[in-house]
Amino acid sequence: MFGESFRRLCTAAPGKLLIGTILLAMTFLCPALAQRNMVFTQFAAGEGLSCDQFYTNQGSSAVTATVSFFDGAGAPLTVTSNLGTAASYTFDLALGETKVIRFPATGLLKTGYVVISTPQHSSVPATQIFRYELAGSVLFEIGAPQQEAGRSFNFPAEVRLSSRTSTGIALAYPTFGNSAAAPLKAIVNLIRSDGVLQRVKVIDLEPGEYSSLYLHESGLFPGLDDFTGSVLITGLADFSAMGVRQDKNGVGSLAVSTGPVLGPFLLAGSPVNEVEPNSELLDAQVIMRDTLINGVMDKEGGVDYLRFAGKHGDMVSFVATFEGMQGTIRPAIFLQSEDETRIASSESTRLMDTDQAYLQAALPADGIYYALVYTEYGYGPYRLHARVPTNTGPPPLPPPPILKSLGPLKAMPGSAFRMVIMGRDLQQVAQTSFTPEPINSAGRGNGLPAADRPTEGGITAQIVVSEYRYLEAMVNIPAVIASGVYRVITTRAGRMSNGLDFEVLPAGGPAFSLDGVWTGKTSEGHAINFRVAGGKLTDIHFPADIYGCGTQTHDATGLQANVATTIEYGSVGGGLVATFFGTFDSDKTASGWLKMTKSGCTGVGIATWTATRP
């Protein structure tokens, strides 16, 4: 159907040239590397295909460039050119000089990719030109100008199979030296000439991988014909894209524009007003279907939350327009999962002197998600076009509390104390329970038969402070209670947290000496120590991270505070209020919590701790 030479190259087996992926991606690496790196994501020469590479020094000083060749597995690839046979070339570029590297069409076809390294602040654009010759006839010649890696690209497209006209796309996902790069889901949007989104397809790319397909092929939109419009390709990490048009035997590359095409993602109809308050995760406005929202950002650095439910593979998109806002606008949209893992973020898209932010993503799993509209600068009205899966079930609930640590970890029957629980999403927690646990395979538990295990285990907890990352509760343990492990669980808005172990020690245990130096760590990773001598606390050292002031440290010596089964210490002075509390589980282990505030600081330093004595 199409020119056989191009068809052969476009459908070659792995290791052969995919001419549709001839493109150049350019990016900056970490400034610490002190160099600028460009990449030819596809290199090929041999078996009738020649390649010419052009490098021009546009800058105001001479530069040294290194061009390295790699095969598809990342190993050095030995190539032959007018510069010799090697896996890399290093050459100098004088002011305004252009270096041409020519790779002949003779020999076996070699494919791979190329990394071009120059000084960080240099300007050395590069271009590849491929020429395919068969039986003395040039069948096509195609060039690929440099292209900066990005997250959205668009170009015109047409498919008319009856006239042997089609459009191919090429995607490359270079890692630019990032060993932690994650797989990429590139979303290919097929947009009709009237601006309507016709079809969507996700292409999965591993780091360093590329893909090349015609629009009408089975990997994209099988059966597509009589189509005129455009293609928009988006992703959640930097990648490169290229469009190729084939008209009978003729082949040419298409002009590729960066940025999205917003029209297909805008919603018509009457908007709804945002529901305040919605500036916290727990207060997120619930949306159950595609929704057009009139919102107001009342301050710089403001954020509005939306909550919705979706399933694996569902497509979502958000377009926020900020016309009429005051000040310089830097808008953004973030997408995160229920556990607050960042899935995607937008970049501001400046079109026609207006400020917009655009995000499109495929949901990675079934669950509850949050969209955040944010402005670093500027405030005022905005409009959000939110396309989310239609949810016919109950509204998605706020996230459950997450518990990470607690202190103290153990206590005696008949004791009453303040417990601190560290975690996430702990604000507005309504209840904390202590549920008896049966004896497990490790011999831990309280041993009560299932029929005799009360729901609460007899331990009561009254919450006195409930903040996002911690809560404080007054705990009372009955004098008569089964010893062993109890499960601490919190509940909010009908959603239950994970559980942490708390142990009730046997009543009337043997007395033991606590004298010596105790050392340990806090839940923030800071080292603590205190000394007990003659049954009294004599010295103590502990730090805490206070928001707005960083890590603050409290030290005290020459103390004479009584220590029994618990350690209780407090200090006020110099604008610092410090509290340290814990229980001794034995003559070797202790656990508890600490809290610190300082005048002029906006937050509270609080953490749990564990300590041991040699």
Note whether residue 215 is domain-resident: no
Same domain, 500 and 535: no
Given 456, 480, 504, which residue is the final one in a domain? 504
Return the top range by mean pLDDT from 63-77, 353-367, 399-413, 445-459.
Answer: 399-413
* Better-scored residue on pLDDT, 179 or 19: 179
* Better-scored residue on pLDDT, 40 or 161: 161
Same domain, 53 and 121: yes
pLDDT beyond 80 at 13 = no
Same domain, 293 and 432: no
CA distance 335 to 107: 50
Angle at the Cα of 124 (from 17 to 259), degrees rounded to 5?
Answer: 70
CA distance 6 to 19: 8
Minimum mean pLDDT range among 126-140, 431-445, 503-517: 431-445
CA distance 462 to 456: 13
What are the pLDDT digits (tens) for 46-57?
A: 998 899 999 999
Same domain, 354 and 492: no
- Please name the helix (run of DSSP H) or strand (run of DSSP E) that holds residue 122, with its range, or none: none
Note whether residue 265 is domain-resident: no
Note whether residue 260 is domain-resident: no
Burial class (CB in 10 A: 0-12, 13-18, 19+), 243: buried
- Judge whether 37 and 88 are in contact, CB under 8 Å: no
- Judge whether 55 and 93 are in contact, CB under 8 Å: yes
**How many beta carbons lie within 10 A of that of residue 248, not counting itself?**
11
Minimum mean pLDDT range among 74-83, 265-274, 393-402, 518-527: 393-402
Percent of the chain with pLDDT over 90: 48
Q: How many CA atoms lie within 13 A of 349 on its CB side?
A: 22
- Judge whether 105 and 47 are in contact, CB under 8 Å: yes
pLDDT confidence band for 446 (50 / 70 / 90): low
Q: Report CA torsion sign: 479, 481, 483, 488.
A: negative
Structure tokens at 564: 């029994």
- Please name the helix (run of DSSP H) or strand (run of DSSP E) that holds residue 547, with its range, or none: none
CA distance 291 to 316: 12
Given 356, 387, 418, which residue is the final one in a domain? 387
Count the domains in the chain: 4
Structure tokens at 459: 């331990």
- Judge whether 565 and 412 are in contact, CB under 8 Å: yes
Same domain, 23 and 135: yes
Interacting residues of 136 by C-beta distance below 8 A, sequence separation 6+: none
Burial class (CB in 10 A: 0-12, 13-18, 19+), 109: middle
Strands 227-247 and 137-144: unpaired
> What number is the average pLDDT over the span 67-88?
88
* Better-scored residue on pLDDT, 20 or 40: 40
Note whether residue 244 is domain-resident: no
- Residue 554 pairs in a beta bridge with 542
pLDDT beyond 90 at 319 = yes
Compute and round to an integer the Cα radius of gyration of the chain.
Answer: 32
CA distance 540 to 570: 11
Strands 410-411 and 500-504: parallel
Same domain, 277 and 374: yes
Residue 538 has φ and ψ, to the nearest 5°, of -110, -35
Could you tell me the pTM of the whole model? 0.72
- Judge whether 231 and 237 are in contact, CB under 8 Å: no
CATH number, domain with residue 19:
2.60.40
* Better-scored residue on pLDDT, 211 or 6: 211
Note whether residue 261 is domain-resident: no
CA distance 416 to 421: 16
Note whether residue 189 is domain-resident: no
Q: Is 409 left (phi over 0), alpha (psi -120 to 50) or beta?
A: alpha
> What number is the average pLDDT over the span 145-166?
88
Structure tokens at 131: 């020429």
pLDDT beyond 90 at 253 = no
CATH number, domain with residue 298:
2.60.120.380
**Matching residue, tokens 């109809």:** 269
Same domain, 522 and 500: no
Look up the domain containing 411 and give its range.
402-504
Same domain, 341 and 429: no
Same domain, 439 and 582: no
CA torsion angle 274 276 278 282 (round to 10): -130
CATH number, domain with residue 460:
2.60.40.10
CATH number, domain with residue 552:
2.40.128
- Looking at 363-512, which runs of residues are DSSP E strands? 367-375, 380-387, 402-407, 410-411, 416-424, 431-436, 460-466, 470-476, 484-492, 495-496, 500-504
**Matching residue, tokens 């991606």:** 25
Note whether residue 195 is domain-resident: no
Q: Residue 61, SS3?
A: coil
Residues in the chain, how many? Answer: 614
> What number is the average pLDDT over the span 413-424?
93
Burial class (CB in 10 A: 0-12, 13-18, 19+), 404: middle
Note whether residue 238 is domain-resident: no
- Looking at 248-353, which runs of residues are DSSP E strands? 250-253, 257-258, 272-273, 285-286, 291-297, 303-310, 315-321, 331-337, 342-345, 347-351
Same domain, 327 and 470: no
CA nearest neighbour of 521 among 611, 403, 420: 611
Cα distances (angstroms) measured from residue 152 to each of 180, 232, 258, 259, 588: 21, 7, 6, 5, 59
Report the mean per-residue pLDDT for the chain. 84
Strands 250-253 and 197-205: unpaired
Same domain, 6 and 111: yes
Percent of the chain with pLDDT over 70: 88
CA nearest neighbour of 501 among 490, 491, 511, 487: 487
pLDDT confidence band for 4 (50 / 70 / 90): very low
Same domain, 577 and 473: no
Given 355, 387, 419, which residue is the final one in a domain? 387
- The pLDDT of residue 329 is 67
- The pLDDT of residue 354 is 55
> What number is the average pLDDT over the span 505-515?
79
Interacting residues of 515 by C-beta distance below 8 A, sequence separation 6+: 532, 533, 534, 535
- Judge whether 370 and 281 are in contact, CB under 8 Å: yes
pLDDT confidence band for 34 (50 / 70 / 90): low
